[in-house]
Amino acid sequence: EVQLVESGGGLVQPGRSLKLSCAASGFTFSDYNMAWVRQAPKKGLEWVATISYDGSSTYYRDSVKGRFTISRDNAKSTLYLQMDSLRSEDTATYYCASLYGYTPDYWGQGVMVTVSS
């Protein structure tokens, strides 16, 4: 059974940093591209970043480019999202997802990030 379990969320002040993790199991993690998708409170879904199966390629939405870094450790079957210079508009539930092609097929349960002073 595929499982994706996010951790690392919480309350953080504007301008500070936070690092999210996503532990994967039930599939060969190193074979799959992965992504982060977020959802602001009572809002819709927003793609954030994607990383290739081997970590060689990364893609970001413009609003997080230069502030967020997606990475992975295939030996640990873990996906990361380093979030720096956080803003109030980054407040959201962050989901990690495995990609079938470009399709997010399996999703974690999500982790909440609140950026507030």
Task: Report the interface residues with another protein, using CB under 8 A.
Answer: 37, 44-47, 50, 59, 61-62, 95, 100-110
33, 104 in Cβ contact below 8 A?
Answer: no
Dist CA 97 CA 105 (whole Å): 7
| Comparison of 78 and 93: residue with beta carbon closer to another protein | 93
97, 104 in Cβ contact below 8 A?
Answer: yes
| Comparison of 27 and 107: residue with beta carbon closer to another protein | 107
